[in-house]
Amino acid sequence: MTGTPETTCTTCPYCGVGCGVLAMQEPDGSVSVKGDPDHPANFGRLCSKGSALAETLSLDDRLLVPQVDGKQASWDQALDLVAERFRASIAEHGPDSVAFYVSGQILTEDYYVANKLMKGFIGSANIDTNSRLCMASSVAGHRRAFGSDTVPGTYEDLEQADLIVLVGSNLAWCHPVLFQRIEAAKRARPQMRLVVIDPRRTATCEQADLHLKLKPDTDVALFNGLLAFLNECSAIDERYVGLHTSGFEEALEKAGACDIKTIAAATGLAPQDVALFYSMVARTPKTITVYSQGVNQSVVGTDKVNAILNTHLATGRIGKPGAGPFSVTGQPNAMGGREVGGLANMLAAHMELGNADHRQLVQTFWQSPAMAEKPGLKAVEMFRAVRDGRIKAIWIMGTNPVDSLPDADGVAEALRICPFVVVSEVSTAVDTLAYADVALPAAAWGEKDGMVTNSERRMSRQKSFLPLPGETRPDWWALAEVAKRMGHASGFDYAGPSEIFAEFAQLSATGNNGTRDFDIGAYSLVSEAAYNRMLPFQWPRASALDEGDSRFFADGGFFTPDGRARFIAVTSRAAPRLERRYPFVLNTGRIRDQWHTMTRTAKTSRLMSHIGEPYAELHPDDAEALGIQPADLVQVESPYGKVIVRALVSDRAQPGNVFVPMHWTDQFAAKGRVDAVVAPEVDPISGQPGSKFTPVALKKA
Ligand code: SF4
């Protein structure tokens, strides 16, 4: 068959870089993909995962029809039951007896409807998301310092910087296209310097001019020392600090003296490396600090974020070309979820759940019968509440918590005893489905339409180019249908995602008057055709005709009551002492070619051939002491559970540490499900789990 392929401009569903993808469908139905040369995130580049997207579109392992108690049901039967059970629980036990646990995989419109239903119509804030595992410490740190969850920089800054400091980020594997942009910029300007701060020597370190292999969770000591050093060598921007910030002296006092030897001892680094790093930062105005899960996934994650932000505020290196702090998100729509209030402590359009004026404004806009008045339960606490019976009905959407949350066996037990569990899902390879009373078949990438926001605040469309298979439906539709069946017809009568987006955009501008960061333009008058033609843009922008603003805070304008950024005085805490029984630190994370719990990426042999099974990366000295040879099976055990995986003996790990990738579930590797081992300890401010620091025991299996 010959003919011209039909090309759809869409966005990759895998990571927070948010690359533009051209999906080309041939007349025979086959699909191929390539990078969109016009998309400002990637300019035509794709990584291994993005370029394999077309290989993952088969309907193998797809959930295609609704199920009730494991048996095929009609949508009406399934939706009626969900509405009835949620309504009954709310009537008997109150609105906080129900919960939604959603995902950075769902689209902004899905997220918006879920938030509206839970916060404005059910009247609880028990809606949280797997973005809690990814970004919550960064959100909390931004809000403490800037008064809002605003990422100041853009991807261009990575190319314009003279010094890039990557903290807790294996960018080469986890945000590959951003790393490719840095590599290209470094080739064009060899004087550009790259410092990597990471307890492991990762693939990213191959391009580094300096690798600081610090002890886990000692980042606050390192950045507090940097703040003191910048002060001692007169690198403080006194004008910026005086005009646009508060709390500098307190933060400086808490940071303590810049005693390189003491900092080196605390962080496990060589004194000369600490001194070199500090002097590189001090003499380089165009410094950008990029950080990711190694910072966020920590019980001191929010303090780490603020220690980094303090150094940028002190030097006025923020919101300027090539200079600023830059948090990169893990998931494709972690940012979009935050925009519509997808965390248990936020409201839509970056408004605050704790602010009575904001609650009133949103309730009036929604004309809703209720409004949550207190923050809901964050991810880890939410499943604790399921387990102890406070939550009696939960709807899980687009995520697999029995494999991906810490203490995964505890989560599975919680769902086993929960009176009513709904799971909206694409894949039957998701273990959480085994606990569902009602399973709802969701539309997948390529079949659904909506918006996502990437790490630089750029909103892009995901577009459908395939028909909905079987009886699958978009998540916003299932939510709206349940809302109507719960008696809320007027708030949820949407014809499609363009109407939902227009409503959200209108809310972003309502009562705004320039006092909030978040305004994406009044799309309420925009037609569906215009929504479909919408090009990627960065928020904020005052109208659909604006280009959008690219950077924040170069001239202050913070979203605090006095307009000043707040230095946060943070103290370096000693890492917890390891018990004799659990003497190693377990660190978990991603690998280059896998995504989440592998339900999509395991469909292609190309991606599976990169690393075929889970492994424990440990130092040769530790391996020798334990009698472990390369490729032996090793057991990694904590008080919560254990895994048995292949030993990868390498000095990339530091002694006393072990790294296990997060992706494998028992479906893909028996006993390889590492989140069963991870402790459910969280940062007390952000609620984000410390997934990179679990004390464990290691032995040959
Ligand atoms: Fe997709 Fe991220 Fe790769 Fe871009 S870098 S193609 S968004 S996985």
Report how far ligand 1's centroid is from the alpha carbon of 535 (Å).
Answer: 18
Those residues whose C-beta lies under 8 Å from the C-beta of residue 76, and which sit 6 or more positions away, are: none
- The CATH number of 584-700 is 2.40.40.20
Report how far ligand 1's centroid is from the alpha carbon of 202 (Å).
Answer: 19
In 154-272, the DSSP E strands lie at 163-167, 193-197, 210-212, 245-246
Helix (H, G, I), strand (E, B) or coil at 458: strand
Residue 188: pLDDT band by 50, 70, 90 thresholds?
very high
Report how far ligand 1's centroid is from the alpha carbon of 695 (Å).
Answer: 32
**Residue, of 213 and 525, whose pLDDT is higher:** 213
Report how far ligand 1's centroid is from the alpha carbon of 178 (Å).
Answer: 9
Instruction: Tell me what percent of the residues of the chain surpass a pLDDT of 90.
Output: 81
What are the residue ranges of CATH 3.30.200.210 in the chain? 6-56
Q: Say if strands 584-589 and 633-637 run parallel, antiparallel, or are unpaired.
A: unpaired
CATH topology of domain 6-56: Phosphorylase Kinase; domain 1 (3.30.200)
Report how far ligand 1's centroid is from the alpha carbon of 18 (Å).
Answer: 6
What are the residue ranges of CATH 2.40.40.20 in the chain? 584-700
What pLDDT was estimated at residue 336? Answer: 78
- Across residues 467-496, what is the average pLDDT? 97
Q: Are 156 and 321 in contact (CB under 8 A)?
A: yes
Report how far ligand 1's centroid is from the alpha carbon of 109 (Å).
Answer: 21
- Across residues 44-64, what is the average pLDDT? 95
What pLDDT was estimated at residue 624? Answer: 98
Q: What is the DSSP string of 333-367?
A: THHHHHHTT-STTB-GGG-BTT-HHHHHHHHHHHT
Given the CA of residue 51, which atom of ligand 1 is nearest to it?
6
What pLDDT was estimated at residue 522? Answer: 56
Residues constituting the chain: 701
- Give the N- to C-terminal CA distance of the chain in Å, as an integer: 55
What pLDDT was estimated at residue 337? Answer: 80
**Minimal CA–CA distance to 460: which of 520, 545, 522?**
520
Residue 445: pLDDT band by 50, 70, 90 thresholds?
very high
What pLDDT was estimated at residue 224? Answer: 98
577 pLDDT higher than 90: no
Helix (H, G, I), strand (E, B) or coil at 21: strand
Q: What is the DSSP string of 644-663?
A: EEEEEE-TTSPTTEEEEES-
Largest CA distance in the chain: 73
Report how far ligand 1's centroid is from the alpha carbon of 473 (Å).
Answer: 25
22, 34, 39, 47: residue to mutate for ligand 1 pocket, most atoms within 8 A of CB: 47
11, 12, 452: residue to mutate for ligand 1 pocket, most atoms within 8 A of CB: 12
Alpha-carbon Rg for the chain in angstroms: 24
What pLDDT was estimated at residue 5? Answer: 85
Reported pTM: 0.96
Report how far ligand 1's centroid is from the alpha carbon of 47 (Å).
Answer: 6
What whole-number distance in Å separates Cα of residue 346 and Cα of residue 131? 13
- Across residues 213-228, what is the average pLDDT? 97
Mean pLDDT over each residue of the chain, to the nearest integer? 93
What whole-number distance in Å separates Cα of residue 521 and Cα of residue 544? 5
Residues within a 6 A CB radius of ligand 1: 12, 14-15, 17-19, 42, 46-47, 49-50, 175-177
Other CB atoms closer than 10 Å to residue 517's CB: what's the count? 22
Closest residue to atom 4 of ligand 1, CA basis: 19
11, 39, 43, 46: residue to mutate for ligand 1 pocket, most atoms within 8 A of CB: 46
Residue 550: pLDDT band by 50, 70, 90 thresholds?
confident
153 pLDDT higher than 90: yes
Report how far ligand 1's centroid is from the alpha carbon of 15 (Å).
Answer: 5
Residue 1: pLDDT band by 50, 70, 90 thresholds?
very low
What pLDDT was estimated at residue 61? Answer: 92
Closest residue to atom 2 of ligand 1, CA basis: 15
- Across residues 165-187, what is the average pLDDT? 97
Given the CA of residue 595, which atom of ligand 1 is nearest to it?
8
Burial class (CB in 10 A: 0-12, 13-18, 19+), 272: exposed
What pLDDT was estimated at residue 525? Answer: 53
Instruction: Tell me what percent of the residues of the chain surpass a pLDDT of 70.
Output: 97
**Residue labelled with tokens 């917890």:** 576
104 pLDDT higher than 90: no
What pLDDT was estimated at residue 537? Answer: 87
What whole-number distance in Å separates Cα of residue 695 and Cα of residue 578? 6
Closest residue to atom 3 of ligand 1, CA basis: 47
What are the residue ranges of CATH 3.40.228.10 in the chain? 136-328
Report how far ligand 1's centroid is from the alpha carbon of 674 (Å).
Answer: 24
34, 36, 49, 183: residue to mutate for ligand 1 pocket, most atoms within 8 A of CB: 49
Report how far ligand 1's centroid is from the alpha carbon of 175 (Å).
Answer: 7
Distance of CA 146 to the CA centre of its chain: 19
Instruction: Please tell me the least confidently modeled range out of 132-141, 168-177, 501-510, 558-567.
Output: 501-510
The ipTM, to two decimals, is: 1.00
Q: Give the class (CATH, top level) of 136-328.
A: alpha beta
Given the CA of residue 178, which atom of ligand 1 is nearest to it?
5
Given the CA of residue 50, which atom of ligand 1 is nearest to it?
6
